[in-house]
Amino acid sequence: MIHRRFVSFLRGAALPFLLVMAGCSGSAAPPSAQGYVEGAFVRIAPEASGRLVRLDVAKGQDVAAGAPLFAVDDRDQRAALAEAEAEKAAAEAQLADLKTGKRPEEIRVLDAQLAEAEAALDAARKTYDRSQALTDKAVASAAVLDQAKADLDAAEARVDAAHQNRAVAELAARPETIRAAEQTVAARAAALENARTLLERRQRTAPAAGRIDDTYFRVGEIVPAGQPVVSLLPPEGRKIVFFVPEPQRAALHPGDRVALACDGCPSGLAATVASVASQAEFAPPVIYSTESRAKLVFRAEARPEGAALGLEPGQPVTVTLPAG
């Protein structure tokens, strides 16, 4: 945390002194202010607690967007996913069964019953015809003909019933039964999607390209829910923080370009002012000069551009302000 100590020192003591020096350095030199690089870190954590089983990155490593970062134990989630898949498959099979009617084996049984009924009808019809002929010749009694007619009517009824059973076998279940089965399938599909999401969340990937700033757990340790495992610094996560003396505040606006300089850095670094505070800050009381204590400064932030995106958080910079 060296850069944090530096930032505290800069704001507490060194910054106002350097601002005073910048203001007294001569009218020919453009006004300047001292600042530092601040990082907006992205801290990636699991949504649920678990044992860390894989750590794919190390401190200082550059990663691309979507690169794997870490994974926590997912055995419970895999089991839940398998169960949800099985339940959805069972619900879909039941729905399909309701929509298609009876099985082919059951259809064949009904066909056989229909054929048997038709054969019995044919025999009954022949018996009735013979009985009628014998009755006409007074060979058989009317009772024999009546019995043959009753057998014929019964055989016709059995054939009609067999035809009806065969037709019903091709029909699907009642509409309300099918709708209930469809709702069951939808519920199982939602449960499956939820199980799949929970499993995916056990592995985290980089939300953006950047550099791994730090890792906080080792493989085998229990990670609480919401506790960061990795911190990531995207290139656009850097910003320049500096403090503008009150005399230069009116000349600085969002969108202005400022020049940056730092020890060991190449020339030509630049940034664009993103914001300037509307509220002033008093110089810290550790500066004993009465003049310094009376001065006000305004916090400003700028977005680094080009090569300045490579500046490290905590790094001190000199910001050359636009000439008023």
> Could you read off the pLDDT of 138-157 as tens digits, one per residue?
776 778 777 878 888 888 88
CATH at residue 207: 2.40.50.100
Separation between Cα atoms, residue 282 and residue 299, nearest integer Å: 11
Average pLDDT, the chain: 83
The DSSP bridge partners found for residue 239 are 38
Query: Residue 137 CB: number of other CB atoms within 10 A?
Result: 8
**245 and 165 within one domain:** no
Average pLDDT over residues 162-172: 72
pLDDT given for residue 206 in this prediction: 96
Q: Are 236 and 297 in contact (CB under 8 A)?
A: no
pLDDT given for residue 142 in this prediction: 77
Q: Which residue has the tokens 């002929």?
A: 133
Average pLDDT over residues 71-77: 95
Q: How confident is the model at residue 293 (pLDDT cuts 50, 70, 90)?
A: very low
Q: How confident is the model at residue 195 (pLDDT cuts 50, 70, 90)?
A: very high
Enter the tokens of residue 71: 């994974």
pLDDT given for residue 165 in this prediction: 77
Q: Which amino acid is at 215?
A: T
Residue 10 domain-assigned?
A: no
Total domains in the fold of the chain: 3
pLDDT given for residue 28 in this prediction: 56
Select from 270, 283, 263 the least CA-distant residue to 321. Answer: 270
pLDDT given for residue 9 in this prediction: 46
Residue 23 domain-assigned?
A: no
Residue 222 domain-assigned?
A: yes
Size (the chain), residues = 324
Domain range for 48: 42-73+202-231
pLDDT given for residue 117 in this prediction: 85
**274 and 211 within one domain:** no
pLDDT at 1 over 50: no
**95 and 69 within one domain:** no
pLDDT tens per residue across span 175-184: 888 889 999 9
Q: Are 297 and 31 in contact (CB under 8 A)?
A: no
Query: Residue 39 CB: number of other CB atoms within 10 A?
Result: 19
Q: Are 319 and 273 in contact (CB under 8 A)?
A: no
pLDDT at 210 over 70: yes
pLDDT at 19 over 90: no
**266 and 281 within one domain:** yes
Q: Are 218 and 55 in contact (CB under 8 A)?
A: yes
**189 and 151 within one domain:** yes
Residue 301 domain-assigned?
A: yes
Enter the tokens of residue 131: 């009985």
Q: Which residue has the tokens 């091709």?
A: 170
Highest mean pLDDT among 83-87, 124-128, 129-133, 241-245: 83-87
Residue 162 domain-assigned?
A: yes
Average pLDDT over residues 123-130: 85
Which of 61-65, 130-134, 247-251 comes out lowest in average pLDDT?
130-134
**140 and 112 within one domain:** yes
The arrangement of strands across the sheet holding 62-63 comes to 42-44, 230-233, 210-215, 62-63
**153 and 91 within one domain:** yes
